[in-house]
Amino acid sequence: MNSPQILDGKSVAAAVLDECRAETAELLAKGIQPGLAVVLVGSDPASQVYVGSKTRTCAELGFHSLKIELPAETTQEELLQVVRDLNADPAIHGILVQSPPPKHIDEEAVIREIDPRKDVDGFHPENVAKLVLEDPSGFVPCTPAGCMKLLEVSGINTHGAEAVVIGRSMIVGKPMALLLVSKISNATVTIAHSRSKDLPAICRRADILVAAVGRPEMVRADWVKPGAVVIDVGINRVPDASKKSGFRLTGDVAYQEVAPLCSAITPVPGGVGPMTIAMLMKNTLQAARQLG
């Protein structure tokens, strides 16, 4: 049985946040306090947990943090006006509207309303274009940026590697593929999804396998090439009567059966998750530097 390298997102995220703390102190000395506004529409419990974590991290780093909580019945126009006000606020460098909003909100229209210079989620079309063009002035979506940082810090060589990304969302799958195929990473990338023909066979080719589909333990041992690096982006709640909460967290990868095959793997929780918030803080610092 192989003992894989465990890609510990908690320790890497802590190191990234230490860098952010030092950079924040430098900006504060110049009279610039990085400011992040998080807008939450409705009372989705998972979203409230994420927003609380982001707010606490801002406080720890010395950011100006603004949390705007709006009722679920907030109209599209009311939300767009909140975004416009934040665009105009010089104390705010980063704007994040927590996803998913209530069903009556057009999320794409909200993203397009955010000033791309303050779009620290990296979802505005202008930042998507900059990612394609490998323009460093744009913002890279936080979760794929965190995955790349984990690979880099862990000494995993992507050059010439065959990478397979399962999932094609604009939040993770597509930007992850773009980062892996970039001139910095030089991987050969396949984007696969639920409709891919013979998905397990595609995955078995991967030197680096990134699972971002949102299906609990979908990736099984016979999907993974021995010695592969597996990045599990999924975080799913699965009923578990033995837990006080009534559920346990699991990724998109069947960890217990896949881990012995891998050279390196991310755990869930404690892998990619902590990296997402750390990279959000890095993006907010970048926005503060660029906006001044």
**Positive or negative, the Cα torsion across 179, 152, 264, 13?**
negative
The catalytic residues are 54, 98, 121
Q: How far apart, in whole angstroms, are the C-alpha atoms of residue 141 and residue 124?
A: 10
Query: Interior CA angle at 29 toward 24 and 31, to 5°?
Result: 95
